[in-house]
Amino acid sequence: MADLEGVKIAKNYHTDEPFANNKGFYIKGANHLDWGMKKHLSNIFNPVSGNTVMFAFDHGYFMGSTAGLERLDLLIPTLIPYIDVLMGTRGALRACVPPENKKGIALRVTSGSSMVQDDLSHEVLAVDIKDAIRMNADCMAVQTFIGADGQLSSLDNLSRCINAGIEYSVPTMGVVAVGKQMERTDRFFKLATRILGELGVNIIKTYYCENFEEIVAASPVPIVVAGGKKLPEPEALKLAYDSISHGANGVDMGRNIFQSNHATIMAQAIGKIVHEKYTDKEAYEFYQDMVNEEEK
Ligand code: R5P
C-alpha cells in the first residue's frame, strides 16, 4: 500500500481529449474484450448513438412493493418498446417480462438488505453466474458501498462477480450506492467510480454531480447515470441532458419513469435526449405534445 502522506489532488483529466483506446470497437474500455462480452455490451449500448436508456425496476429487492411498481406484469410490457435495457431481479424478470422481447437485460445479482434496516450496506452475491447465463443476462448489476460499513463485503461480491463474468463472458455493472451517511460530492464519486473501474467492471452506474466530465474522463468504462427520487418531468429531463452532455453513455432511471403520470411518454422523451441529441427543453416540448395528443 502506498504511503498516503503527500498524495497530490488529481487534476489533469484532459476532459477535451477522447478516450485513447477506442479504435476498433465503439464501447469505452471494451476494445480488448472477447466477442461474447462485446455482443452483450452491444445489446446494452445502441451501436448508432453509443448510448443506452436503462429502465430500473429492481426496487422491490430492498424496498418491497414500491409505488408505481405494484403490477410489474402490467407495467413492463407497456415500456419495453421505448427503452433499451430492462434492469431487474431474476424473480421479476422471470415472472413478469415476456421472454420474446428483444431488449437488453441488466440482472440485479446482489441482495441482503431491506429498508427496515438502518444500514443497507451489507449484501451478498445472491445469483449464481450459471443462472445469469440461463437468463441471457447482458450484464450483472452489483451494488457497491464505498466508504460504508459494508465496503469490504460489497467489493468482495463485486470481485467474485467480475471473476465469474470474465470466465463466461458476461459483463459486470458496478452500481455506486449512496446512503444516509455517505457523501454525494464529486470527491466521493471520483473515488467510488475509479475504484470500480480499476477492479474491472465493464459499466459503472453512478449519480450525476458537479465536475461530472472529470469523473467520465477518469473512468476506463462507460458511465450510466442513476435517476434517483421522482422529480418534476422538466427536472428529470434536465438531469438526463446534463448527464449525456457531460459524457455519460446513458441513464438508468426508475422512479422518474414509472412514477410519472405518463410513463411511456417520459421514457420516449428520455430516449430523445439519450439517442437523438435533443436538449432537455426540446424533450420536454416533445413530452407535452405527446401528453396533449394522448388527452385529446
Ligand atoms: C440502485 O442502484 C437500484 O438499482 C435502484 O433500485 C434503482 O437504481 C433505483 O432507480 P431510481 O433511483 O431511478 O428509481
Domains, the chain, in order of start with CATH, read: 35-111+118-294 (3.20.20.70)
- How much is the pLDDT for 118? 80
Q: Ligand 1: which atom is nearest the Cα of residue 175?
A: 2
For atom 10 of ligand 1, the residue with the nearest CA is 254
Distance CA 148, CA 19 (A): 31
Mutation probe of ligand 1 site: the residue of 52, 58, 65 with most atoms within 8 A of C-beta: 58
Cell of 151: 465496503
Backbone angles phi, psi at 173, to 5 degrees: -110, 115
Per-residue pLDDT at 188: 94
Q: How far is the CA of 58 from the centre of ligand 1 (A)?
A: 7
Residue numbers annotated as active site:
205
| C-alpha cell belonging to residue 90 | 431474476
Positions in the chain short of pLDDT 50:
none
Q: What is the pLDDT, as a whole number, of residue 52?
A: 98
| CA–CA dist 30, 12 (Å, integer) | 23
Q: Which residues line ligand 1 (CB under 6 A)?
A: 56, 58-59, 143, 175, 226-228, 252-256
Task: Please report the pLDDT score of residue 113 as a whole number.
Answer: 83
Top mutation candidate among 59, 157, 175 for ligand 1, by most atoms within 8 Å of CB:
59
* pLDDT tens string 25-60: 999 999 999 999 999 999 999 999 999 999 999 999
Confidence at residue 207, expressed as pLDDT on a 0 to 100 scale:
97
For ligand 1, the distance from its centroid to the CA atom of residue 177, given in whole angstroms, is: 9
Predicted local confidence at residue 24, as pLDDT: 85
From atom 12 of ligand 1, which residue's Cα is the shortest distance away? 228
d(CA 263, CA 285) in angstroms, rounded, equals: 16
The predicted structure's pLDDT at residue 4: 67
Radius of gyration (C-alpha) of the chain in whole angstroms: 18
Please give the grid coordinates belonging to residue 260.
410519472
Which residue minimizes the CA distance to atom 6 of ligand 1? 59
Straight-line distance from the first to the last Cα atom of the chain, in angstroms, rounded to the nearest whole number = 65
pLDDT at residue number 181: 66
**Confidence at residue 119, expressed as pLDDT on a 0 to 100 scale:** 85
What DSSP assignment string belongs to 94-142?
HHHS-TT--SEEEEE-EE---TTSS-----EE-S-HHHHHHTT-SEEEE
